Structure 1
């Protein structure tokens, strides 16, 4: 994640390169040997870390869902009693994911159905909990927003933030800091627009 400063482990290096390659060429378009070459080890050497590509994909998709939920809960707890700060912190955390883990967004969109049923259910369960965490935070700030509308608004904001893999990188685009600020304004603007009471009451 964006806040990490220590060097990644070999396992994490493998997952990062697997995510990049899967996102670029599709799960079936990438071989174990290619993933190994990307991290400087032989393809068979990967089997010391993972049983195969299926295990890598599962760890990537289940892992990011777990990290988003854990990070969201931490952010909400740190801002307990300050609803605006809690919501802003949740938005900031998701923006970090959207900007720094873009291959995982592509993987989720394309490859989720390739997971074993148990892993797919686990991802969906974690995602539901993450959504409900946001719904609670949104309704703290906008109590006039009914729960179904708040949930729809949260999904819409996720769609907005998760659009980042579709961005190219021409010089005319803002840098990361400016893009993060823009996405934050857009997310808050979308939630404000969904609120039936401009005063928030």
Structure 2
């Protein structure tokens, strides 16, 4: 799936053929149909898998003991590490979600909403004075910042800078 994600991220879903996908993994294009019924199904699997990994990792962190502000820091670092390790998936999620059939799009969006909800519970315990709308705005802005990592200039300390910015956006005035 990583090879497919890389091709989709580099060239766009519509521009990648099944032959190119097959070549990337060392098989013929038609052989892909032994594993996925369509190119769209492969894209769906990439995005659903990424959304599940984010949600599961988040839930594992939330289950760990610790002060809410420390948990928020761990969540920021977790998301940033995911975006850094899987930049192609982040790019695809930004650009290609609309290519999915509506039921699959709904599944991905549902997983994403659950992920945001997990963060919202933590943020509400760190900043109880914020109403739901402000927390949502801060969270979505933070995800935009953290998801910009694949597009950011590569600097040795870029992750630390982005993590600091994200934490200030979430916890600052």
Would you say same fold, with TM above 0.5? Answer: yes
Note the residue ranges of structure 2 that are not aligned, 5 or more in a row.
Answer: none
The yes-or-no answer on 1:112 pairing with 2:115 is no
Number of residue pairs aligned between Structure 1 and Structure 2: 173
Show the counterpart of 1:162.
Answer: 147
**If the length of structure 2 is used for normalisation, what is the TM-score?**
0.93
- Whether contact under 8 Å (2:80, 2:149) holds in the other structure is no
5 Å-filtered alignment, 1:4-153, equals 15-78=1-64, 80-153=65-138
- 1:24-46 CA-partner distances (Å, limit 9, x unpaired): 11111111111111122222222
Note the residue ranges of structure 1 that are not aligned, 5 or more in a row.
Answer: 1-14, 196-201
* CA RMSD in angstroms, aligned pairs only: 1.4
State the 4+ residue runs in structure 1 displaced beyond 6 angstroms.
none
- 1:52-90 CA-partner distances (Å, limit 9, x unpaired): 211110001111111111110111101x34212211111
**If the length of structure 1 is used for normalisation, what is the TM-score?**
0.81
Q: Which has the higher helix share?
A: 2
> Relative contact order: is structure 1 or structure 2 higher (C-alpha 8 Å, sep ≥ 6)?
2
Q: Determine the C-alpha separation between the residues in 2 that align with 1:81 and 1:149.
A: 24
